[in-house]
């Protein structure tokens, strides 16, 4: 037989596109359309319904960027359509290639009841099956004219990302507003042909199955009368029945489809628009659940459920009903799908606390899985947090985006820094927006790396990013692939059902130890510095507010602000979403975030001041409140008292220009360029800096990645570097007995940097405050510290501990980590000597090593990433004034690094009062760190303390307890008693602790 494969395949494509698809709606009549544009921000539904509308026509332009237009559509079903299925087709000017990224609308009845949404892949509203004819229809569409920002030419700078700069040019034209007859038979024929045509293209040409399908498709197309598609669709379908009924092979891959709409809580749209996106998507999904019995839809992010509960209670009622029926599944148990690299220990824990508690309170559901398909890499502390929250599984997909190294597993145990293992799955379909395309299903089966020992994978199915969810077309295709020869088998299942099956079939999966590093989007550790600073500051203010409010509640009967802290935590957690904290959202999002963080800081500072005032009482004694984790200035951690300062600092001129600062512990030389050329540890008789090198060296690079501007920094940025050594001035600004400071001012490009280098009495640490008035474009600013330390690895703080990364690039896996994340410190060490670089708000950094020709010694250079200037999606990213604080701590151990990291983020507060305040809890071992002190969230008055081992070793020590308590129990993160925890008791005011490396323990004390 001649090879006519290409001929038949081309025939299928043309006939399907030009004749069969248009026949789904063989008859139509236009609707009458009127419109009203809301002034400013969206208005309540009742206002939109009652507004005075003006006539508009198909073809008219509408929708300024970010505006809301209320369309009123009316019409009458023709009497001749009696007995037929009728739908409205409402095309607002959609581009079907971009669901979730343009205009959308929620459709209401005249009474204000939401029916469903329309979007580029979901343009229909059902009038009825077997209509009587003559029915009057009226709907109101709340249409959002969100501009397209990531279009055919992505990553181009645009002012459309902020309503203040977007202008008023209409973005869309009405395309179609009709009532139409819906031909189910033609619609089913399309699904038949799509499934078989897409499957055919994935099958080997040498196999018989491909040719069987080809012949059946050819016969089907012969049976279609191109002038009467509707009349011949049934006959055409009968030609396909045989190939569609052939069962799958016994060895076929099994795919658990979960209906899904990965809705970014903010990204190329503001938070307020996400509220509406969630309402639109969930309306469509509850509508679909009513007619599709096998369908299961999963939605993560408790915040999004909370939004529709508050803003669209009618939609929420439908969601809650579907959840009770087990069809609409709250997934993941987190407040939002957050970034997991940058959130601090407590913030990462509270993502699960608030997310899981919402699902428990609202639905009685306690999730076993963490659901993070799109997060940009995963910190090594996360497995322990997942387990401590009472969960045991993790799903993500994003690691498949890595540019260099292909991850070796799809199902595996992920081991965190403390040894906790979490059963983890990466869907081999390699997308969290699966649309049931044949190539997607075939790719999942081919790509699955655990063949032979496992055969189950998961496919999140539905349009996401900007929402939309699963469509009836996807369900139709999945139905055909439930048991189809040549295809993987597809079945709709809940995430928990998939994980139970996958875990049962793979009892000893491979193990991956340490962080799950994404070899992409590394610049998200630096972009939008003010957002990152707002997050870091908020985390530490929350620590202080809880600590001092709890202490004041116990010591002075202070009213603990349960509701305020709960609300503020949720605000901070929302802004840790993986396109807000990473700095990859539009200007509008980050402009609002800056205002939100300022409001959070003001409210938390007021709580702290009130609590400290209650603790201090009336008096004239200056008390230092120490919220850090270790004693400083003679004041115990978690307590308050008079400061004790020991020693002094001397300042002298340096022979070649510049200054020498000396406090008896550390001698620092600053040269005439304002650079640190020596940091001598007097006690260790050891120079910290590499010979001939200068530290606190600002360096600037060109920064124009190949794509994903705000997200990416490509390694070639290092090819060109400019050392900023020209100086405007170097002068002494403080020379008191306990403090000396040198100010350095330098200009570069269109920008200016002012740095104040300070040495305090009694501290072996050089503090650096850097203010940058930044006006560069597509540049990357770093601060370099070349250290005379021979180390093949270094430590970066992460949640509840630290992890190690290599300083070398022996393998492609190591070379790929050329930009990485730390929290409060980076620490390097060779036997007998370590150095810490601590910071108050930066996350990105790099570490490199070279060997000096002069003495064959090793220079290990740590560079903090300070600022970038990408132009998409925010063309003004990071422009303006920024302030950073960081410090160099020579001779530091890891415990010292932990201490200094907390200290720089939790400055002392001075309050005038009557008497010292003793801490509620004191850890005897410096390696045991108190992460949180608070009252229990249930309002019982119980006191909760969370501790962790921070040095990476074992700790057998005690926790001093200074409060009247009747009992103590170990709990999970939700403060629920752990049934299998070792018993704890307070004896002589102490609780004995035995912690493994990086282990966290939460204790609840009953008062």
Active-site amino acid positions: 374
Picking from 377, 475, 382, 368, the residue whose alpha carbon sits closest to that of residue 421 is 382
Relative to beta strand 61-62, strand 68-76 is unpaired
Between CA 151 and CA 890 the distance in angstroms is: 50
Displacement of CA 593 from its chain's centroid (Å): 15
Backbone angles phi, psi at 843, to 5 degrees: -125, -45
Cα distances from 528 to residues 160, 384, 833, in angstroms, run: 18, 29, 35
Picking from 827, 592, 778, 788, the residue whose alpha carbon sits closest to that of residue 690 is 788
- In which residue are the tokens 């501290």 written? 763
* 794: enclosing H helix or E strand: strand 793-798
Between CA 343 and CA 480 the distance in angstroms is: 43
Between CA 331 and CA 782 the distance in angstroms is: 39
Residue 904 · residue 839 · CB < 8 Å: yes
Length of the chain: 1007
Give, in degrees to the nearest 5, the angle at Cα 797 between 792 and 802: 70
- Give the N- to C-terminal CA distance of the chain in Å, as an integer: 87
Backbone angles phi, psi at 524, to 5 degrees: -65, -10
Between CA 994 and CA 956 the distance in angstroms is: 4
Q: What is the DSSP letter of 382?
A: H
Between CA 522 and CA 722 the distance in angstroms is: 21
Between CA 316 and CA 306 the distance in angstroms is: 9
Picking from 413, 141, 182, 159, the residue whose alpha carbon sits closest to that of residue 283 is 141
Which residues make Cβ contacts (< 8 Å) with residue 453, sequence separation at least 6? Answer: 505, 506
Q: Which ranges constitute the DSSP H helices of 160-255? A: 184-202, 208-223, 229-238, 241-245
Give, in degrees to the nearest 5, the angle at Cα 517 between 512 and 522: 180
Bridge partners for 626 per DSSP:
639
Between CA 824 and CA 628 the distance in angstroms is: 13
Q: What is the DSSP letter of 590?
A: H
Residue 22 burial by Cβ neighbours in a 10 Å radius (0-12, 13-18, 19+)? exposed
- In which residue are the tokens 């720089």 written? 904
Q: Which ranges constitute the DSSP H helices of 79-175? A: none
Which residues make Cβ contacts (< 8 Å) with residue 242, sequence separation at least 6? Answer: 216
Which residues make Cβ contacts (< 8 Å) with residue 751, sequence separation at least 6? Answer: 772, 773, 774, 775, 776
The number of helix segments (H) and strand segments (E) in the chain equals 19, 53
| Residue 711 structure tokens | 């997200």
Between CA 540 and CA 728 the distance in angstroms is: 35
User: 10 Å Cβ neighbour count for 944?
Assistant: 19
Burial per residue of 801-812, b for 16 or more beta-carbon CB atoms within 10 angstroms, e otherwise: bbbbbbbeeeee
- Residue-wise DSSP of 3-54: --HHHHHHHHHHHIIIIIGGGGS--EEEPEEEEEEPSSS---HHHHHHSPPE
Give, in degrees to the nearest 5, the angle at Cα 213 between 208 and 215: 95
């Amino acid at each position: 037989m001649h090879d006519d494969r290409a001929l038949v395949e081309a025939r299928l494509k043309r006939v399907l596109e030009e004749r069969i698809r248009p026949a789904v709606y063989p008859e139509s009549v236009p609707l009458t359309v009127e419109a009203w544009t809301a002034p400013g921000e969206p208005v309540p539904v009742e206002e939109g319904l009652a507004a005075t509308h003006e006539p508009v026509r198909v073809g008219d332009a509408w929708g300024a960027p970010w505006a809301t237009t209320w369309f009123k559509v009316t019409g009458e079903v023709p009497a001749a359509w009696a007995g037929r299925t009728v739908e409205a087709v409402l095309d607002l000017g959609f581009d079907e290639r971009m669901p979730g990224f343009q205009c959308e609308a929620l459709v209401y009845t005249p009474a204000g009841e939401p029916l469903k949404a329309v979007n580029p892949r979901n343009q229909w509203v059902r009038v009825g099956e077997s209509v009587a004819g003559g029915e009057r229809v009226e709907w109101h569409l709340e249409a959002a004219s969100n501009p397209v920002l990531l279009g055919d030419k992505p990553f181009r700078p645009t002012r459309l990302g902020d309503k203040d700069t977007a202008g008023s040019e209409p973005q869309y034209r009405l395309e179609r507003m009709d009532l139409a007859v819906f031909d189910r038979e033609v619609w089913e024929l399309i699904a038949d042909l799509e499934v078989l045509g897409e499957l055919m293209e994935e099958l080997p040409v040498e196999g018989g199955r491909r040719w069987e399908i080809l012949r059946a498709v050819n016969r089907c197309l012969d049976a279609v009368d191109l002038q009467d598609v509707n009349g011949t669709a049934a006959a055409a379908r009968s030609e396909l029945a045989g190939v569609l009924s052939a069962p799958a092979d016994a060895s076929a891959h099994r795919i658990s489809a979960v209906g899904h709409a990965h809705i970014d809580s903010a990204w190329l749209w503001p938070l307020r628009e996400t509220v509406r996106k969630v309402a639109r998507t969930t309306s469509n999904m509850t509508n679909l659940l009513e007619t599709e019995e096998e369908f299961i839809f999963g939605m993560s992010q408790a915040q999004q459920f909370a939004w529709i509960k508050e803003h669209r209670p009618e939609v929420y009622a439908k969601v809650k009903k579907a959840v009770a029926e087990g069809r609409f599944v709250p997934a993941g148990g987190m407040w939002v799908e957050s970034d997991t690299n940058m959130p601090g220990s407590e913030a990462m824990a509270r993502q699960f606390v608030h997310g899981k508690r919402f699902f428990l309170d609202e639905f009685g559901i306690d999730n076993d899985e963490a659901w993070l398909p799109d997060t940009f890499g995963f910190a090594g502390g996360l497995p322990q947090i997942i387990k401590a929250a009472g969960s045991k599984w993790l799903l993500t997909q994003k690691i498949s985006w890595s540019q260099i190294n292909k991850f070796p597993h799809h199902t595996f145990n992920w081991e965190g820094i403390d040894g906790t293992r979490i059963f983890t799955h990466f869907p081999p379909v390699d997308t969290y927006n699966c649309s049931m395309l044949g190539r997607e299903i075939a790719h999942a089966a081919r790509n699955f790396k655990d063949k032979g020992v496992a055969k189950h994978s998961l496919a999140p199915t539905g349009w996401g990013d900007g929402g939309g969810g699963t469509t009836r077309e996807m369900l139709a295709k999945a139905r055909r692939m439930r048991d189809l020869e040549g295809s993987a088998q597809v079945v709709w299942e809940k995430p928990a059902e998939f994980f139970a099956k996958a875990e049962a079939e793979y009892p000893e999966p491979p193990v991956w130890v340490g962080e799950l590093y994404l070899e992409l989007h590394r610049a998200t550790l630096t972009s939008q510095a003010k957002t990152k600073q707002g997050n870091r500051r908020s985390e530490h203010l929350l620590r202080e507010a809880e600590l001092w409010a709890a202490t004041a509640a116990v010591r002075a009967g202070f009213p603990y602000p349960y509701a305020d802290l709960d609300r503020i935590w949720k605000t901070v957690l929302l802004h840790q979403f993986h396109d807000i904290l990473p700095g990859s959202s539009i200007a509008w999002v980050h402009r609002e975030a800056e205002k939100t963080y300022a409001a959070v800081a003001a409210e938390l500072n007021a709580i702290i001041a009130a609590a400290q005032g209650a603790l201090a009482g009336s008096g004239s004694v200056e008390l230092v409140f120490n919220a850090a984790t270790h004693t400083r200035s003679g004041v115990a951690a978690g307590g308050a008292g008079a400061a004790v300062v020991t020693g002094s600092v001397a300042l002298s001129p340096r022979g070649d220009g510049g200054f020498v600062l000396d406090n008896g512990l550390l001698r620092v030389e600053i040269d005439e360029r304002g650079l640190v050329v020596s940091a001598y540890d007097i006690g260790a008789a050891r120079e910290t800096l590499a010979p001939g090198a200068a530290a606190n060296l600002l360096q600037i690079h060109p920064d124009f990645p190949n794509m994903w501007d705000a997200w990416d920094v490509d390694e070639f940025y290092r090819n060109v570097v400019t050392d900023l050594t020209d100086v405007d001035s170097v002068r002494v600004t403080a020379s008191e007995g306990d403090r000396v400071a040198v100010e350095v001012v330098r200009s570069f490009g269109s920008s200016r940097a002012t740095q104040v280098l300070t040495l305090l009495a009694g501290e072996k640490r050089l503090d650096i405050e850097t203010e940058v008035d930044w006006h560069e474009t597509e540049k990357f600013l770093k601060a370099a510290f070349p250290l005379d330390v021979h180390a093949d690895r270094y430590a970066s703080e992460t949640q509840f501990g630290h992890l190690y990364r290599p300083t070398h690039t022996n393998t492609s896996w190591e070379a790929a980590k050329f930009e990485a994340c730390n929290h409060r410190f980076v620490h390097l060490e060779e036997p007998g000597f370590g150095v810490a670089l601590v910071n108050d708000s930066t996350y990105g950094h790099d570490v490199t090593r070279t060997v000096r020709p002069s003495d064959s010694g090793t220079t290990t250079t740590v560079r903090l990433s300070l600022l970038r200037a990408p132009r998409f999606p925010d063309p003004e990213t990071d422009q303006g004034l920024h302030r950073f604080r960081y410090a160099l701590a020579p001779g530091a151990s890891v415990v010292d690094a932990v201490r200094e990291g907390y200290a720089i983020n939790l400055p002392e507060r001075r309050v005038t009062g009557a008497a010292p305040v003793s801490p509620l809890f004191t850890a005897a071992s410096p390696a045991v760190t108190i992460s949180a002190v608070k009252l229990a969230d249930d309002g019982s008055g119980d006191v909760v303390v969370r501790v962790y081992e921070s040095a990476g070793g074992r700790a057998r020590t005690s926790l001093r307890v200074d409060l009247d308590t009747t009992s103590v129990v170990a709990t999970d993160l939700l403060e629920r008693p752990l049934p299998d925890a070792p018993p704890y008791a307070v004896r002589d005011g102490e609780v004995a602790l035995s912690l493994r490396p990086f282990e966290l323990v939460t204790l609840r004390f009953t008062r």
